[in-house]
Structure 1
């Protein structure tokens, strides 16, 4: 299927992560030029080297999206390399502070909100002028099931992701008439370094194997994930790529769940 985004230019943050790199590869496969960004240049270079990209179609620039100056530098590097972007895929994020509400200090809240909410805000503000220029644009934010189904042991993350949903909906109303469509994708328990770390901690706490930790987590913490497995990055990336495409020309202000049924309500 031709997604109509050949020769479009995309910025993918969180590009060294599983979902970000999978989205980058699918966008490259559609003929898109991709700028990858993440916190560390070495990790980015490793991912860029592993991706299948034609010459001149892939660039990698490290940046901390919580730092206004680094975001400005990323914008300058991107403009110098490829010009104005048409697509922004914002997938940077952290699990952040975990524990029950009374166990999480102010620093834990501030750090999580800064990375998972203010980071996307700062990134969007920097690249919005470019996205508004061409009469056609896409923003896709990586959200989470936690935005609508909060868990009591990671409330800072849940609150930040709920903020992303609200921001995306508001942006979708502001700029759709200019051709800029804004949507979110909400995965649940995807195979990634983030959930690997969660399951390693769980295995250590329970005295079980890594695989047993996954099984018990699904049974006890995510009972509505009917497929009874972690999702794969490509399964999320396929939805992201669709929302970046011309095929999604009537999709705006929507949240697509890629969660095996984890969210229990309609």
Structure 2
């Protein structure tokens, strides 16, 4: 399928692994010139080398999305290398502070929101002028199922991702008339370095293998996932790239989650007690 984006220029954050790396790979395959960015220069360089992109079609510049000065330098580097971007894919993020609400202090909340909400805000603020100049643009945010179905042991992350959905929806209303379409994708349990680390920790705590930790997590924490497996980064990237494409020219302000099947655990007391 021709996605109609050959020759476009995309910036992908969080691109040294996981979903971000696969977004870069699939955008390159569709003829897009890609700029990858992430915090660790060494990992970013290695990740870019794995893509084996045609000369001039792939660039990699390290940056920290939480730091406005770093983003300004990134913008200068992007402009010098490829000009103005047409597509912005925001994948960078962290799990952040974990534990029950009473166990997480202000620093835990602040550090998580700084990366997972304010980082994307600063990123868009820096690059929005590029997207507004050409009469055509795409912004896609990586949110999370946690934005819609929060879990009690990672509330800072859940709250930040809920904020991303509000940010995405608000931006979609502000700039659609200028040709800039804004959407979000909310993956569930995906096999990324972030969830790999979570599963290794779970395996250590339970004295099991990582595979057993994944299986028990699915049984105990995600019983409503009908496929009963982790998704792959490539599966998520395919949705992201579609939203970046001309094929999604009438999609704006949407959020693409995995399908939820609510259990009674998430029904309100009012709903449970309502008379039939």
TM-score by length of 1: 0.97
The verdict on how the C-alpha distance between 1:244 and 1:231 changes in structure 2, with shifts beyond 3 A counting, is: same
Give the corresponding residue for 2:68.
Answer: 68
| Matched residue SS, 1:96 | coil
How far apart in 1 are the matches of 2:247 and 2:54? 24
For the aligned residues, what is the CA RMSD?
A: 0.9
Give the corresponding residue for 1:264.
Answer: 262
Give the corresponding residue for 2:269.
Answer: none
Structure 2: gaps of 5 or more residues: 264-276
Counterpart contact for 1:5–1:31, Cα < 8 Å: yes
After TM superposition, list the pairs within 5 Å mapping 1:110-125 onto structure 2. Answer: 110-125=110-125
Matched, 1:83 2:87: no
How far apart in 2 are the matches of 1:119 and 1:105? 20
After TM superposition, list the pairs within 5 Å mapping 1:79-228 onto structure 2. Answer: 79-228=79-228
- Larger radius of gyration, structure 1 or 2? 2
Give the corresponding residue for 2:245.
Answer: 245
How far apart in 2 are the matches of 1:171 and 1:18? 26
Q: Deviations over 1:67-105 (max 9, x none)?
A: 010000000000000000000000000000000000001
How far apart in 2 are the matches of 1:134 and 1:112? 34
| Matched residue SS, 2:184 | strand
How far apart in 2 are the matches of 1:217 and 1:159? 22
Give the corresponding residue for 2:254.
Answer: 254
How far apart in 2 are the matches of 1:24 and 1:231? 18
Structure 1: gaps of 5 or more residues: none
| Distance apart, 1:263 and its partner CA | 5.6
| Distance apart, 1:53 and its partner CA | 1.1
The verdict on how the C-alpha distance between 1:206 and 1:262 changes in structure 2, with shifts beyond 3 A counting, is: farther
How far apart in 1 are the matches of 2:115 and 2:19? 17
Aligned length: 263
| Distance apart, 1:52 and its partner CA | 3.2
Counterpart contact for 1:222–1:262, Cα < 8 Å: no
How far apart in 1 are the matches of 2:261 and 2:120? 24
| Distance apart, 1:262 and its partner CA | 4.8
Give the corresponding residue for 1:42.
Answer: 42
Q: Deviations over 1:178-219 (max 9, x none)?
A: 000000001111111100100001011111111000000000
| Matched residue SS, 2:61 | strand
Give the corresponding residue for 1:14.
Answer: 14
TM-score by length of 2: 0.94
